[in-house]
Structure 1
Amino acid sequence: MSDRDVYDAVIVGGGHNGLVAAAYLARAGRSVLLLERLGATGGAAVSGRPFPGVDARLSRYSYLVSLLPKKVVRDLDLDFRVRTRTVSSYTPTERGGRPAGLLVGGGEARTRRAFTRLTGDSGEYEAWREFHAMTGRLAARVFPTLTEPLPTRAELRTRIDDATAWRTLFEEPIGTAIEQRFSDDLVRGVVLTDALIGTFADAGDPSLKQNRCFLYHVIGGGTGDWNVPVGGMGALTDALADSARNAGATLRTGCEATRIATDGRRAEVTYRQGDEGERTAAARHVLVNASPQALAGLLGDEPPAPAEGAQLKVNMLLKRLPRLRDTAVDPAEAFAGTFHIAEGYGELATAYAQAASGTPPTAPPSEIYCHSLTDPTILAPDLAERGYQTLTLFGLHTPARLFAEDNDAVRAELLESTLAQLDAHLAEPIADCLALDAEGRPCVEAKTPLDLERDLRLPGGHIFHGDLAFPYAQEGAGRWGAETRHANVFLCGAGAVRGGGVSGVPGHNAAMAALGE
């Protein structure tokens, strides 16, 4: 092997997990080289200005923080903060031919009144409160394990120490518990949505992939809260890059890894840097912040089963928030949390069945949130003063297969039908509220799974690199869930056990594995 460019560790991929790993290893005194294909680090956890001539710095792909442990922020001395949202969610609907909705947040008494207003009694609220008390207890016990060596299934069950919670999340389809505990279709749908973010599944899917998605959405921070990153998601990855550099790591952008060769003790990473041709870096350890498919390709191994993403990601900039048909709710509150659209339990089931048959949903379900209501710093001062707001929409049940024949046409079709579902609950069309860019075009950006695969190399556009795994040891997972069949090659991307989301957990765990912790 070449002895040029020799390091203790080479990290392939400069997304947030690769940066976490680089910072931990450099702080431990290891020499570290990080190689990033794109012109900047951050991966999907970046901020950008997608609309020409408009100074609004949006979290372009990932946008909320729940799973990032405070331990990582403390360990790496990150200059990074989050803010809590004043409202958890608002779900508009129609009852008795009149606009209505469910606002969750603002304290227990207010939420109880909202449930009673919607359903006519407080029974559904009591079921809601009991269910979320159960997931809260589970979160407090499971979340700390994410940065520890993998527990066995039995050890995790013992730690949870709640037979009902274990059965609900780990053994039976989540739809079973939802249907047993709740009677209102809208309430059922609001609960189910946490199981479907980036996951194409039915509530009763026997594979339980919807349960795994649900689990990661309710355990974040030990509370399940989803918070807004101050300054946008790019503020996190900028802080991580600073932490890694300050500790001595070398970060190189515009460098695409093409091959990894290893004998289990020493490895070589071959990469291209612009027009300079191929170069090689040797290292004791290689950590790959990319998908399992990309890792297999670099090693020349058989790739894992294909992944398929299932989301429509839309960024918007508004001149003002739209008025609601439900006049009992202030738009500034409705959009401050998660704004659910066409996400009743029956609507979600219909949309899934249509998409599974190869047809775009006629009433696409989605959810929206407004970053700038909680953190206006992402807007230039003049935009904030004029009342401009950002909206991020995440569409469900839009698998990559729907876009295979004509990505552009299906994207346009689904964007139109998705915004029509939103308009059904507004007192004015969302189009009337859109800001215009410097060229006079509406400030709307839509990304399909195929777009995300092209832009970010997400396999099949899957935001988790594949279906999530339960956070306990399984065959071949290793001590930290980052190990591969090569003793000195580790996976630190979202496809690692306990991966997915903006968490830094795979980066932390791969670094611990490399350090022999």
Structure 2
Amino acid sequence: MTTSAAGRSFDALIIGGGHNGLVTAAYLARAGLKVMVVERRAMLGGAAATEEVFPGFRVNTGAFDAGLFLPEIYTGLRLENEGLEFITPEAIAIAPQTDGPALTLWRDPVRAQVEIARFSKADAEKYPAYLRTVARFAEIMRLISVQTPPSIPQLHAGELLPWLPVALKTKRLGNRQMMELLRLLPMPVSDFLDEWFDTPLLKAALASAGVTGTPLGPKASGTAFMLLYQAMNAGPAGFRASRFVKGGMSRLSEALAQAARRYGAEICLGFGVARILLDGERVTGIELDSGEQIAAPMVVSSAAPRHTFFDLIGPAQFDVRFVREVKTIKSRGSMARVNLALIGVPSFTGAPPGDRAALGGHLLFCPSLESLERASDDAKYGRFSQQPFLDAAIPTLLDPSLAPPGQHLMTVNVQYAPYTLQDESWEQACDRLGERVVETLASYAPGIQELITARQVLTPLNLEQTYGLTGGNIYHGEMGLDQLLFMRPVAGYGRYRTPLDGLYLCGAGAHPGGGVTGIPGYNAAREILADLKSRH
């Protein structure tokens, strides 16, 4: 190596320099621990990084929306002092059509209601009540997300005390609303929205939050839960939390790293971890790819659970039941990414040309629930969608610093793209996927092909190879109801601890799950410090 860490010892080693690992590092260092973060890549951010993919363009190659990032972390770590700024678009989303007016869902609920009335006065009248319902239930979800799941079935009374605010908040809903929440969680998002609205374009735009990053279509059970999850932090004005990081997503990780360093943490880039070192069932440190070792009585992994347990340790160190449960963690990748460099802003059918306010949020290309469901059908049989659902953004409309003067970026999440293709490899299919995405965009924005100067396609396989996302799943494991709370990553180990003494999880594979929230890292740090306190 050569990092000065070789041969030294630390109180805690953090595997992975993504936002969750950095959150954990900052809080542990703030508590006085000697902490080092070890990151395989030469840059921070993990799957929320900003890279110069095209000359002069700063591209968010992974996540591009930080709306779910926990406000308590921002204030608690004083990230404003590190120059972290968020951009809050006026429009949460716009849904263009190929042959009709676009629907803009403004952050201002009154303005959104006026917009919806252009399509249906009845739907517009119901929209405020819908937002109140989603906001009320999403706040319960937010409270649950920052708690540590209880140990089930070995339940301890002390583990329930932190859940009292959740219980009280839920009780205040009233019996009818409590039952409605319980009814909603396992529902297909399509059924939930059919109960509220009639306009196909509105229902599809709202439903998109329930399937983002999942292999599921809107008719699948549990997708209504994901809609509520995506609404955490949205408040009463929005169906979906949405805000962007000024300067690109890497600025979030850079600010977290600066905060961690401020508290004394060290960060080592460009060094992969080959294995976690053990003495019996106790962690003793890590060995780097170079063969050099760093000692610590505690290792905290922000990597995917399967990679942590099987690749960095090995199944032989765990009992048969635990190995079986880790093997059965569902982690099907379903999303690809296409990044486009543009010499101008595309003109979308039915949308105000060049309107920065209307086009500054998410651009949703899914005309109906039926089209969203059909897009998911292809993936069930090992094919990428021929009529894909696209969730895009043109971040340069609100942040010109990401591209050369006068030029723009378009970032497109593509669903559905299965990790394993039936009749070909992703190496063979990659270019065709990129072409299919551009063709789909052209049906909404005629002439967009002439604006494209460069294109990057990231398949689920690329996401796994580059960012360590097992199976290409952006959440480190699917977020079905059977893989949440005390069952995330597996039953019995939902409290960030593992079967090995001194090994903890702090990534999206732990409660509450994926998205750029910082919550798994935040919660894990709290539990680690509680364990240390109980030992002294």
Q: Is TM (by shorter chain) over 0.5?
A: yes
Displacement of 1:264 in angstroms is: 8.2
CA distance in 1 between partners of 2:518 and 2:411 (Å): 22
* Equivalent position of 1:310 in the other structure: 334
CA offset at residue 392 of structure 1? Answer: 0.9
- CA offset at residue 4 of structure 1? 4.7
Does the alignment pair 1:257 with 2:273?
yes
Structure 1 contact 90–104 (Cα < 8 Å) conserved: yes
In structure 2, the CA distance between the partners of 1:133 and 1:406, relative to structure 1 (3 Å rule), is: same
CA deviations 1:475-502 (Å, max 9, x no partner) are: 9667973122224211111101112111
For 2:276 and 2:466, how far apart are their aligned partners in 1? Answer: 23
Shift of residue 43 of structure 1?
0.9
C-alpha contact 1:228 1:374 (8 A) present in aligned 2 = no
State the partner residue of 1:337.
Answer: 361
Deviation at 1:325, TM superposition (A): 2.6
Aligned to 1:105: 106
- 1:393 paired with 2:412, answer yes
Confirm or deny: 8 A CA contact 1:477 1:483 kept in the other structure.
no
Partner of 2:534: none
- Retained in 1: the 8 A contact 2:89–2:357? no
Per-residue deviation, 1:164: 5.1
1:456–1:430: structure 2 CA closer, same or farther, 3 Å change rule? same
Segment of structure 1 superposing worse, 324-333 or 312-321: 324-333
RMSD: 2.6
Letter in 2 for 1:248: G
Q: Does 1:359 align with 2:383?
A: yes
SS state of the match for residue 294, structure 2?
strand
- Residue 227, structure 1, aligned to residue 243, structure 2: yes
Q: 1:328 to 1:502 in 2, by over 3 A?
A: closer
Deviations 1:308-345 (A, max 9, x none): 11112111221111223326565434421211113421
Alpha carbons of structure 1 residues 342 and 479: separation in structure 2 relative to 1, 3 Å: closer
- Structure 2 residue 172 is the aligned partner of structure 1 residue 159: no
Q: Which residue of 2 aligns with 1:438?
A: none
- Cα gap change, 1:196 to 1:377, in 2 (>3 Å): same
Shift of 1:175: 2.5
Q: Which amino acid aligns with 1:83?
A: I
Task: Specify the alignment match of 1:236 in structure 2.
Answer: 252
Contact persistence 2:359–2:394 (CA under 8 A): yes
Structure 1 spans left out of the alignment, 5+ residues: 435-441
Tell which deviates more after alignment, 101-110 or 486-495: 101-110
8 Å Cα contact 1:499-1:506 kept in structure 2: yes
In the TM superposition, residue 17 of structure 1 has moved relative to its aligned partner by 1.0
Of 423, 430, 454 in structure 2, the residue corresponding to residue 411 of structure 1 is 430
**Does the Cα contact within 8 Å between 2:389 and 2:416 map onto a contact in 1?**
yes
Which stretch shifts more, 281-290 or 477-486?
477-486
Structure 1 residue 92 displacement after superposition = 1.6
More divergent stretch after superposition (144-153 vs 390-399): 144-153
- For the residue of structure 2 that corresponds to 1:268, the secondary structure is strand
8 Å contact kept, 1:308–1:399: yes
- Equivalent positions of 1:440-479 (< 5 A) are 442-468=453-479, 472-474=485-487
Give how far 1:46 is off.
1.4
- Whole-angstrom distance in 2 between the partners of 1:480 and 1:356: 29
Tell me the matched-pair count: 490
- Structure 2 gap segments, 5+ residues each: 1-5, 151-159, 316-322, 532-536
The alignment partner of 2:57 has SS state of coil
Tell me which moved more, 476-485 or 224-233. 476-485
Is residue 2:16 matched to residue 1:13? yes
Change (3 A) 1:107 1:289: closer
2:450 to 409, 413, 432: 432
In structure 2, the CA distance between the partners of 1:326 and 1:49, relative to structure 1 (3 Å rule), is same
- Does structure 1 conserve the Cα–Cα contact (< 8 Å) formed by 2:123 and 2:199? yes
8 Å Cα contact 1:147-1:505 kept in structure 2:
yes
1:376 to 2:395 alignment:
no
Deviation at 1:236, TM superposition (A): 0.8
Q: Is residue 2:305 matched to residue 1:286?
A: no
Change in 2 beyond 3 A, CA 1:242/1:480: farther
Which amino acid is the alignment partner of residue 132 of structure 2?
A
**Residues 311 and 396 in structure 1, CA contact (< 8 A), matched pair in contact too:** yes
Whether 2:314 is the aligned partner of 1:300: answer yes
- Quick check: 132-141 or 480-489, which moved more? 480-489
The AA in structure 1 aligned to 2:298 is H
Contact kept in structure 1, 2:356 and 2:398, CA below 8 Å: no
Corresponding letter in the other structure for 1:126 = E
| 1:165 positional shift | 4.4
1:93 Cα shift? 2.0
CA offsets, 1:40-68, max 9 Å, x none?
222112111101xx322122211111221
CA contact (8 A) 1:15 1:44 kept: yes
Q: Give the conservation status (yes or no) of the 8 Å contact 2:205–2:366.
A: no
* Paired amino acid for 2:389: P
Range with bigger deviation, 458-467 or 326-335: 326-335
Instruction: State the AA in 2 paired with 1:43.
Output: G
Question: 3-state SS of the aligned residue for 1:45?
Answer: coil
